[in-house]
Homo-oligomer: A and B are copies of this chain.
Amino acid sequence: MSSTKPRRLTPKGEQTRQRIVVAAAQLMFDRGVAATTVEDVRDAARVSNSQVYHYFTDKNALIRAVIAYQSDTIVGAQEPMFARLDTVDGFRAWRDFLVAHQRQMHCRGGCPLGSLGSELAEVNPIARADVATAFRRWESGVRSGLRSMAEAGRLDPAVDPDKLATATLAALQGALLLTQLQRDTAPLEATLDTMIDHIASRTRPAPDGAPVS
């Protein structure tokens, strides 16, 4: 990401850059990338043209920074819960967090990363690759708990924990879209409950002598 983030910034420079990224992320979340101009971002961040172009060579650089910011924000907020995804209770706590967040948002906006990916995939190959990378990071958070369960002998050996992690993230993404479209958390709840029921039905007590996860 060297093209979007200069190596050394003063604390004040870092702060200004961050203000620009946060303003851009909010505008792109509210109205989409295509409808957000560099001038809109400049005004929303209360900076000058030359300040924006000091940190970002063009709109594409700004888009990459927004994807990185959303990846850090979204995956970062879930990290404490990822650490507990080696138990069904941990999955239920994660589910409750995700549903509560959508309620707080009044089901508006969907997933910021999913929306960026959907809008940019066919028109901006670099952004597509960046969003794919962000989803791999998210997926690895879900996967590590499932792998721990498998290693401890607490997951049906017929189940591939990596494929289950992919399916869980996919189900979450689609459910966030349906929840956004219907302005109702019911699809999110039904989908995550179904995935968790499936995971629960594939778990078993740790066998004697198995490594403790």
Contacts and interface: CB of A to CB of B under 8 A. Distances in A.
A171 B175 CA distance: 7
A212 interface: no
What copy number does this chain have within its complex? Answer: 2
Interface string A171-199: 11111111011100011001101110110
A114 B174 CA distance: 9
Interface residues on A, range: 35 or more
Given A32-B34, A35-B34, A178 B193 contact: no
Interface in A113-167: 114-115, 117-119, 121-123, 128, 131-132, 135, 160, 162-164, 166-167
A181 B131 contact: yes
Interface of A: 30-32, 34-35, 108-110, 114-115, 117-119, 121-123, 128, 131-132, 135, 160, 162-164, 166-167, 169-178, 180-182, 186-187, 190-191, 193-195, 197-198, 201
